[in-house]
């Protein structure tokens, strides 16, 4: 059972808008509203799954947390410190504590470096393990992720996709992080390998006392690794709940549609019929007013088109942003 300690990570009102520039003078003619008001938190030792369709902004959230992108608005706090205000040595320390496992194991590893350099460079540069040589620690990390130390002298192209992703995990572990952002960690892998990598992440979480933000578009992936799940649509979070509550009693119509598409072999017999959504996802350049989902929602009402629904807690830990469950809401910006 998760503890009630203060959140390791707290995100409040996060927005990230990318400017669209045209012309010789590169004039800003609009914005891509990739993330448009996201609140979330992760406790120590917890795994939060963040799911949604491609283009909903979930990967942008991860990159803002790591300060690969500077937020347009909002606040990101890690261990009580404002990430945007961290500079100098504090920024270096922050980046040892928060690491990322990237989606594509083929593109995220330097093809000119051997495995010992990919994994061991951070250990050598930051002198993180004074009691061991960086080679010894690299060998130890490779064993932890299921690879042989005898493979240290190989290049990335000599490994399979699943092995490359294990190398990426070992590289993240080398920094002794407290939080790992895993951005679609298994989507580029064969189905037969996906479960192995997910089980590895789950085992390492206990072994190294890690917290995870697992970003995925497949609810079947996050079901097996997450303690809580947040469902995103077009830059906003629609629903958050424990994994059990979300799968047994989804509240938001979008969550219900996503779950109905999960194959029965994975999801059991809970969903008796497929909920088909009409139309396409609106462009993040010109998102609809009010509830972002109202243009495709089979239960949309008049207030959904003009008023952004507030996130309300229905049962302990289960929150939803939908007018079905509350009167009124928050004026659309």
176-207 pLDDT, tens digit per residue, is 999 999 999 998 888 889 999 999 999 999 99
pLDDT of residue 126: 81
Nearest to 185 by CA among 203, 164, 159: 164
Across 268-285, average pLDDT:
73
Query: Distance between CA atoms of 333 and 331, rounded to whole angstroms?
Result: 6
Separation between Cα atoms, residue 119 and residue 117, nearest integer Å:
6
| pLDDT at residue number 272 | 54
Q: What is the pLDDT of residue 139?
A: 94
Residue 266: pLDDT band by 50, 70, 90 thresholds? very low
CATH value of 9-20+31-331 in 3.40.50.300, 3.40.50.1000, 2.170.8.10, 3.40.50.2300: 3.40.50.300
Spatial separation of the C-alpha atoms in residues 277 and 25, rounded to whole Å: 41
CA distances in angstroms from 328 to 38, 141, 191, 309, 317, listed in the order given: 20, 53, 44, 7, 21
The packing angle between helices 115-126 and 134-144, to 10°, is 120
Residue 274's pLDDT band, with cuts at 50, 70 and 90, is low
Higher per-residue confidence, 179 vs 122:
179
Average pLDDT, the chain: 89
Strands 228-233 and 236-242: antiparallel
- Cα gap 95→93, rounded to integer Å: 5
Q: How confident is the model at residue 132 (pLDDT cuts 50, 70, 90)?
A: confident
pTM: 0.90
Over residues 69-96, the pLDDT tens digits come to 999 999 999 999 999 999 998 998 998 9
- Residue 332 clears pLDDT 70, i.e. is over it: no
Average pLDDT over residues 27-45: 95
- The owner of tokens 């790591």 is 66
The DSSP letter of residue 302 is G
pLDDT band at 333 (very low <50, low <70, confident <90, very high): very low
């Amino acid at each position: 059972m998760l503890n009630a300690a203060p959140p390791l990570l707290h995100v409040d009102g996060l927005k990230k808008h990318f400017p669209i520039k045209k012309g010789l003078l590169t004039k800003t003619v609009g914005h891509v509203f990739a993330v448009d008001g996201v609140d979330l938190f992760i406790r120590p030792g917890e795994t939060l799954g963040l799911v949604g369709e491609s283009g909903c902004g979930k990967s942008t959230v991860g990159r803002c947390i790591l300060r690969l992108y500077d937020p347009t608005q909002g606040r990101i706090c890690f261990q009580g410190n404002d990430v945007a205000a961290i500079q100098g040595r504090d920024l270096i320390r922050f980046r040892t504590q928060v690491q990322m496992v990237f989606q594509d194991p083929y593109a995220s590893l330097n093809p000119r470096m051997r495995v010992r350099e990919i994994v061991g460079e951070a250990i050598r540069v930051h002198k993180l393990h004074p009691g061991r040589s960086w080679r010894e620690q690299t060998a130890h990390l490779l064993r932890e992720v299921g690879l042989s130390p005898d493979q240290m002298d190989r290049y990335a192209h000599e490994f399979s996709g699943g092995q490359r992703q294990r190398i990426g995990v070992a590289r993240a572990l080398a920094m002794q992080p407290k939080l790992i952002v895993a951005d679609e960690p298994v989507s580029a892998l064969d189905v037969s390998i996906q479960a192995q990598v997910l089980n590895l992440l789950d085992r390492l979480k206990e072994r190294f006392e890690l917290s995870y933000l697992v970003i995925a578009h497949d609810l079947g992936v996050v079901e097996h690794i997450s303690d809580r799940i947040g469902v995103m649509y077009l830059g906003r979070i629609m629903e958050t709940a424990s994994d059990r509550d979300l799968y047994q009693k989804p509240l938001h119509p979008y969550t219900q549609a996503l779950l109905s598409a999960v194959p029965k072999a994975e999801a059991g017999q809970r969903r008796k019929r497929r909920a088909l959504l009409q139309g396409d996802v609106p462009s993040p350049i010109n998102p609809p007013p009010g509830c972002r989902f109202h243009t495709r929602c089979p239960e949309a009402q008049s207030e959904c088109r003009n008023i952004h629904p507030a996130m309300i807690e229905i049962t302990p830990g289960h929150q939803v942003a939908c007018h079905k469950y509350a009167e009124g809401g928050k004026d659309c910006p």
